[in-house]
Amino acid sequence: KQEVTQIPAALSVPEGENLVLNCSFTDSAIYNLQWFRQDPGKGLTSLLLIQSSQREQTSGRLNASLDKSSGRSTLYIAASQPGDSATYLCAVSGQGAQKLVFGQGTRLTINP
């Protein structure tokens, strides 16, 4: 059974720092990996999707990498801003691309 773990559960950094969020998964047979952002009491917003054949994806200040063989992904946020404060979740496709398995998320706080 696929399991997804995100460490740390919470992270607080000063504004302007570059930071890395980690995601690990137990079964390397995935179709894709997605990173989402969730603001308190809200739905999820898709940030990046990496297909299993890809190594990384970039969008603005965000860069996500995927190492299927080691079961790891990282989300790199450059020049963090207070508006980046949110919970970040990663999810991998399980048995078929439609069945996403989520990690518990990392709650990120950027201090002005």
Partner 1 sequence: DGGITQSPKYLFRKEGQNVTLSCEQNLNHDAMYWYRQDPGQGLRLIYYSQIVNDFQKGDIAEGYSVSREKKESFPLTVTSAQKNPTAFYLCASSIDGGPGQGAKNIQYFGAGTRLSVL
Q: Does 65 bind partner 1 (CB under 8 A)?
A: no
Contact residue for partner 1 among 89, 92, 108, 110 (CB under 8 A)? 89
Q: Which is nearer to partner 1, 13 or 44 (CB)?
A: 44
Burial of 43 (0-12, 13-18, 19+ CB in 10 A): exposed
Q: Which is nearer to partner 1, 84 or 88 (CB)?
A: 88
Residues 4-63 that bind partner 1 (CB under 8 A): 4, 9, 31-32, 34, 36, 41-46, 49, 51
Cα–Cα dist 104/100, whole Å: 13
The secondary structure of 3-62 as a DSSP string is -EEEE-SEEEEETT--EEEEEEES----SEEEEEEE-TTS-EEEEEEEETT-SEEEETTE
Distance of CA 106 to the CA centre of its chain: 8
Q: Does 64 bind partner 1 (CB under 8 A)?
A: no
Q: Binding-site residue total for partner 1 (CB under 8 A)?
A: 26
Contact set with partner 1 (CB under 8 A) = 4, 9, 31-32, 34, 36, 41-46, 49, 51, 89, 91, 93, 96-100, 102-105
